């Protein structure tokens, strides 16, 4: 049949157009690419930025290669990320490919100078995934990359993948991606946040114990925790941006409050002051219920924000004097828990509104329904008004049970 002829001809033509002219058009294959798993951005001394690439060496994990050095970190000082990639391409043998980049590390110093250009450039890049994590590191980015070595995983990429998910059960940080930060940078309802990271070192001193003991374990930020190990990556807390500049950092308990308010916490462990023994603490495992609701109203032009948070909890640690979880005791614990959490949340909220002036909890979205058009909403200037916000936090905890309590 004739058609056969056409098909053959078509195949020849198409193959020719691509193969004859295609040698120079061919995109680099899997063998010619160097895959970057993490990108670091620092402030340069002479030029604008220093870009660090953490590149995986593939042969290192096939077979019996040593565990120690699986990736290399190269830094280049340049004016922009793209030119940095170009310079780096001339240095390493393979072509840099960002399509498997898992984390973008921005140093604190760079972040405080403004990140919007960087974020827009990265978001515009086809290769970079919008779901890669943005980490603001308290040390330099290249130092961060050099010291973040997977211990429990074989692959650095998986390590970067898994590490931020710890927030699901600790609540000490949030799994924030490039897409999230881009979204909030463009938004008129909220401010941007990023993961706060750092390299934990031995020499950490336990900060002065001025707070009461319940708060101590949960008031650390990245690279402050008293973990005794080799230097390694640690994500704890959040970095808060106003416009596109870093203005503040949240420690772990504040992060937890943030997660409680935006209702993204799965579960966490919380130490609350013990109602039975002065100065002692009780650990409870908190599980938020979906019925938590936020409400924003405008009263005399200033926002009045009500947060109703309802939690269920299990008691994890008890001392022998209070073992019996009677109704009365549980009510007592609930009461203490409520007041403690309320206190923390209010502290956190006033910190964001008064000190930082940033709405990172996206309260603005509850207010948009009061406005007819986008124009009106923009003119209202929510972020500016957030400074005057009042908060009313209601926490209702209900203790269900202990865990495996055996009464002696």
Partner 1 sequence: MEALKNFFKNFFNYENDDKLYHFEIPETQEEKDAFDNSNGSSGNNSNSSNLTGSQDQQDSKTKSEPTNVFPSLNINLEFMKAKYNTSINSDIVIREFTLTARNKQFSAFLMYIDGMVDSKMINDFVLQPLMLKNRANLFDGEQSKVVSEAVTNNITVRKVKRFDLVDYIFNSLMPQNSVEKVNKFEEVCIGINAGNCVLFIDTIPTVFNIEVKGFKQRSVEKPENEMVIRGSQEGFTEVIRTNTSLIRKCINNENLIIESTNVGKLSRTPCAICYINGIANDALVNEVKNRVNNLDIDYLTSSGQLEQLIEDNGNISLPQLIATERPDKASNFLMEGRVVIIVNGSPYSLVAPATFMDFITSPEDTNLKYQFANMLKILRVLAVFIALLLPGFYIAITSFHQELIPTELLFSIVASRESVPFPILFEILMMEISFELIREAGLRAPSTIGPTVGIIGAIIIGQAAVDANLVSPLLIIIIAITGLASFAITDFSFSFYCRLLRFVYILLGYFMGFLGICIGLFVQLLIICNLKSFGAPYLQPYVPVTTNYRGLLFSPAWKRENRADFLNVKRQKRQGKISMKWKNSNNVDNGG
Partner 2 sequence: MDLYKVGKIEAIALVVIVMLNHLVLNLPKIFFNTAGCAAWINAIFVFAIALIFLFIILKLFKNFNGMDILDVSYFVGGNTLKNIIGFLFIAFFMLIASALLRDFSRSLNIIYFRNIPIYLVIIVFLLVALLANRIGSNVIIKTTTIITTIVLINLGVTFFLTAPQFEFNNIFPILGKGAKEIFLSGSTNIFAFSGFCVLYFIMPMLKSSKEFNKIAIWSIVISGIYLVFCILSLLLSFSYVVDAYDLSPMYLIIRTTQFGKFLQRPESLFMFFWILSLMSYVSICIMFSCNIFQKITNTRKSQVMAYFFTSLLYFGALIPRNISQFKFIEDVIYKYFSIILIFFISMGILILANLKYHRKNMKLEGRKLNEK
- CB nearer partner 1, residue 95 or residue 264: 95
Q: Note whether 7 binds partner 1 by CB under 8 A.
A: yes
User: Is residue 379 near partner 2 by the rule CB under 8 A?
Assistant: no
Which one-letter DSSP state was computed for residue 367?
Answer: H
Say which entry of partner 2, partner 1, none residue 183 contacts (CB below 5 to 8 A, set by partner kind).
partner 2
Residue 182, C-beta contacts closer than 8 angstroms, at least 6 positions apart: 119, 120, 123, 130
The nearest distance, CB 235 to partner 2, in angstroms, is 18
Q: What angle do CA 191, 193, 196 make, to 5 degrees?
A: 160
Q: Which residue in 23, 24, 27, 278 binds partner 1 (CB under 8 A)? A: 27
Which of 151, 245, 234, 159 is CA-nearest to residue 197? 234
Helices (H), 128-203: 141-147, 156-162, 167-170, 178-186
User: What number of chain residues touch partner 1 (CB under 8 A)?
Assistant: 38
Cα 261 from chain centre:
16
Please pick, from the candidates 83, 189, 317, 394, the single residue that binds partner 2 as defined by CB under 8 A: 189
Block residue for tokens 């059960």: 169
What is the CB-side half-sphere exposure of residue 223 using CA atoms within 13 A? 21
Contacts to partner 1 from residues 98-157, by CB under 8 A: 99-100, 102, 127, 129, 155, 157
Contact set for partner 1, span 211-240 (CB under 8 A): none
The residues in 153-172 that bind partner 1, with binding defined as CB under 8 A, are 155, 157-158, 161
Token couple for 63 = 């077979």
Indicate whether 22 belongs to the interface with partner 2 (CB under 8 A): yes
Token pair for 356:
């930082």
- Write the DSSP assignment of 23-43 as a string of letters: TTTPPP-TTSEEEEEEEEEEE
Q: Nearest approach, Cβ of 320 to partner 2 (angstroms)?
A: 44
Q: Are 250 and 240 in contact (CB under 8 A)?
A: yes
Query: For partner 2, which is the closer residue by CB, 69 or 131?
Result: 131
Q: Which is nearer to partner 1, 61 or 188 (CB)?
A: 61
Among 13, 15, 302, 354, binds partner 1 (CB under 8 A): 15
Residue 37 binding: pick among partner 1, partner 2, none (C-beta 5-8 Å cut-off by kind): partner 1
- Please give the structure tokens belonging to residue 249: 């950092």
- Closest to partner 1 by CB, 157 vs 192, is 157
Stretch 65-84 residues interacting with partner 2 (CB under 8 A): none
Residue 179 sits in the site that holds partner 1 (CB under 8 A): no
In the complex with partner 1, the residue whose CB is nearer, 27 or 203, is 27
**Of 162 and 323, which CB lies nearer to partner 1 in the complex structure?**
162
Considering only CA atoms, which of 343, 322, 344, 342 is closest in space to residue 333? 322
Chain centre distance of CA 85:
25
Longest dimension (CA), the chain: 94
Tell the smallest beta-carbon distance from residue 33 to partner 1 (Å).
Answer: 7
Contact with partner 2 (CB under 8 A) among 67, 121, 186, 319: 186
Q: Determine if 374 is a binding residue for partner 2 (CB under 8 A).
A: yes
Which of partner 2, partner 1, none interacts with 175 (beta carbon under 5 to 8 A by kind)? none
Contact letters for partner 2, residues 92-131 (x by CB under 8 A): -------x--------------------------x--xxx
Q: Cα angle at 269 between 268 and 272, to 5 degrees? A: 130
Report what 157 binds from partner 2, partner 1, none; CB cut-off 5-8 Å by kind.
Answer: partner 1
Site size with partner 2, rule: CB under 8 A: 38
**Cα–Cα distance between 282 and 270 in angstroms, integer?**
8
Q: How many residues does the chain have?
A: 408
- Counting contacts by CB under 8 A, is residue 11 touching partner 1? yes
Task: Provide the 10 A C-beta neighbour count for residue 362.
Answer: 16
Q: What is the DSSP string of 184-248?
A: HHH-SS---EEEEEEEE-TTPPPPP--S-HHHHTT---TTTS---SSSEEEEEEEEEEETTEEEE
Instruction: Summarize as ranges the residues that interact with partner 1 (CB under 8 A).
Output: 1-7, 9-11, 14-15, 18-19, 22, 26-27, 29-31, 33, 35, 37, 56, 58-59, 61-62, 97, 99-100, 102, 127, 129, 155, 157-158, 161
């Amino acid at each position: 049949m004739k058609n056969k002829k056409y098909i053959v001809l078509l195949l020849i033509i198409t193959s020719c157009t691509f193969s004859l002219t295609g040698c120079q058009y061919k995109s680099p294959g899997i063998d010619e690419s160097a895959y970057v798993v993490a990108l670091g951005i620092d402030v340069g001394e002479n030029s604008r930025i220093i870009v660090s690439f953490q590149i995986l060496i593939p042969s290192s994990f096939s077979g019996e290669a040593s565990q120690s050095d699986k990736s290399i970190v190269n830094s280049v000082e340049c004016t922009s990320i793209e030119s940095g990639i170009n310079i780096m391409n001339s240095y390493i043998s393979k072509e840099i490919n960002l399509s498997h980049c898992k984390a973008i590390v921005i140093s604190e110093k760079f972040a405080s100078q403004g990140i919007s250009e960087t974020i827009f450039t990265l978001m515009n890049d086809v290769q970079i995934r919008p779901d890669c994590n943005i980490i603001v590191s308290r040390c330099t980015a290249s130092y961060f990359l050099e010291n973040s070595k997977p211990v429990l995983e074989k692959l650095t990429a998986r390590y970067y993948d898994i590490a931020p998910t710890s927030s699901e059960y600790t609540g000490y940080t949030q799994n924030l991606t490039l897409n999230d930060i881009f979204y909030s940078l463009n938004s008129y309802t909220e401010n941007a946040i990023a993961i706060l990271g750092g390299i934990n070192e031995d020499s950490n001193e336990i900060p002065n114990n001025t707070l009461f003991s319940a708060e101590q374990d949960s008031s650390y930020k990245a690279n402050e925790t008293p973990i005794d190990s080799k230097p390694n990556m640690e994500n704890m807390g959040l970095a808060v941006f106003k416009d596109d500049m870093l203005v503040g950092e949240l420690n772990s308990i504040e992060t937890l409050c943030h997660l409680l308010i935006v209702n993204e916490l799965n579960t966490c462990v919380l130490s609350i002051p013990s109602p039975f023994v002065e100065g002692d603490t009780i650990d409870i495992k908190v599980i938020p219920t979906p019925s938590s609701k936020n409400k924003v109203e405008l009263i005399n032009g200033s926002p009045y924000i009500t947060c109703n948070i309802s939690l269920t909890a299990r008691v994890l640690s008890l001392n022998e004097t209070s073992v019996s979880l009677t109704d009365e005791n549980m009510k007592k614990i609930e009461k203490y828990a409520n007041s403690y959490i309320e206190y923390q949340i209010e502290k956190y909220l006033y910190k964001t509104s008064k000190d930082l002036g940033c709405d990172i909890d996206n309260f603005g979205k509850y207010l948009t329904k009061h406005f007819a058009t986008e124009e009106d909403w923009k003119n209202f200037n929510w972020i500016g008004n957030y400074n005057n916000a009042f908060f009313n936090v209601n926490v209702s905890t209900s203790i269900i049970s202990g865990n495996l309590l055996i009464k002696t």
